[in-house]
Amino acid sequence: LTREDRDVWAGLRAAVEGHSAANRRSLEEVDSALFVVCLDHHEPTSTTQRSQDLLHGRPGNLGNRWYDKMQVIWSPSGTISLCFEHTYSDGIVWNRWLSDIWDHLQGTPSPYSPLPSLPSTSALPPPRELTFELTPALEKAQRDARDKAETLVAQVATNKVHIDTIGKADFKKWGLSPDATVQMALQLAYFRLHGTIAPTYESCSTKAFFHGRTEVIRSAHVEGAEFCRVVAQQASGVRPGYSPLAKDAQAALLKAAVLRQNHLSKLAVQGHGVDRHLVALQKVAMGILPTSTGQQNGDRSRLPPIFLDAPFTHASTWRLSTSNPTTVWNEVFNFGPVCDNGYGVGYLIHNHEVLLNVTAFKTSKETDVDQLARAIDASFVTLRQLMEESE
């Protein structure tokens, strides 16, 4: 049921709570927990399957999750995965929590205050089963939710990409921002597949501000588009009379694109992005104010023309949704696509490798995770060639 549409689950949860005192007590127990632990009994046979287990669970065995809570997922080999719903929390919060624990366990220096010393204990209460009493209508709703979840999971394609020919050490050696360089590799990969750049969302944290959450780094920009166009033209030679640019000139375009990306990243982190500002204006125009209570859909008829124009809609439909929460202990990071014809690309940049996870809907005729994975691999080969041949 926690996989259901939010509005549907809200109504069903109220019905579960109202049916019996036992149901209310069980839900209160779950609600009061910091997180839930999911003990999986199947071992993934590949890194891609592990990524799928983390994102949505194993088809045919989807009941071992509770998506309203932070989930710590254990597999028989001892690997630990974390899955959280994004509405109420951000990855940077859990990264901080886990990094504190990692440093404490490893005895490595931490930039934060050390964890307090707590006495060990074995006096934990024994496990107690939480029971639910369901009416026939709720049992049917549960079956329907399971069927919908199985259908949705079957529509999501995943490809775990391991780039072991390049990494942060190389980017630093070339004087390039690692994150911005990976973003340009993604832009080039998408351009080679689709012949255009994509409206691209890269998440950044605004935790430096009170109640700050995230802002968008828009990775589709003029400098990036020019880099992609020139490099793709170089490879295909489709324009009559085109004179290919020398490798050092192409490398200069890459550096300009990376600098632009890095500049936009700094602006977004400092609260100078545009998207959260536009969302606020949109909500206010629809009559939804910070002081509004309860769920409100607002009045779209009050929206100014800018929010209804095709360019605005296109620029806010994230064909590439990306995020980089790199830590030393993480080797898988993923999330689903955020539009029907888009990709979700989570990535981690380590010293000598880049680990990416690509997702898309199988129902889309415009996306293909395997093709994008190959294009990403080829993009990193291109970047290395450009930088090494221009040195």
Q: What is the pLDDT of residues 47-102, one digit of tens each?
A: 999 999 999 999 998 999 999 999 999 999 888 999 998 888 888 888 888 888 88
**Are 387 and 173 spatial neighbours (Cβ–Cβ below 8 Å)?**
no
Closest CA to 85 of 141, 13, 142, 36: 36
Q: How does pLDDT run across 122-156, given as a tens digit for each residue?
A: 888 888 999 999 999 999 999 999 999 999 999 99
pLDDT of 366 strictly over 90: yes
Length of the chain: 391
CA 383 to chain centre: 24
Q: Which two tokens stand for residue 313?
A: 């809609």
> Which residue is listed with tokens 């399971």?
146
Query: What confidence tier does 243 reach under pLDDT thresholds 50, 70, 90?
Result: low
pLDDT of 205 strictly over 60: yes
Task: Tell me the angle at which helices 369-389 and 247-269 cross, rounded to the nearest 10 degrees.
Answer: 110
What is the residue type of 92?
I
Please give the mean pLDDT across all residues of the chain: 93
Q: Which two tokens stand for residue 42?
A: 């199947």
Cα-flanking dihedrals φ and ψ of residue 8, to 5°?
Answer: -65, -45
Give the integer Cα–Cα distance in Å for 62 and 76: 17
Give the integer Cα–Cα distance in Å for 39 and 55: 15
Helix (H) or strand (E) holding 191: helix 178-194
The arithmetic mean of pLDDT across residues 341-363, rounded, is: 98
The arithmetic mean of pLDDT across residues 265-288, rounded, is: 94
pLDDT of 239 strictly over 60: no
Closest CA to 142 of 326, 42, 27, 12: 12
**Are 194 and 187 spatial neighbours (Cβ–Cβ below 8 Å)?**
no
Q: CB count, 10 Å around CB of 29?
A: 11
**Are 335 and 346 spatial neighbours (Cβ–Cβ below 8 Å)?**
yes
Q: Which of 101-105, 204-208, 264-268, 386-390 has the lowest mean pLDDT?
A: 101-105
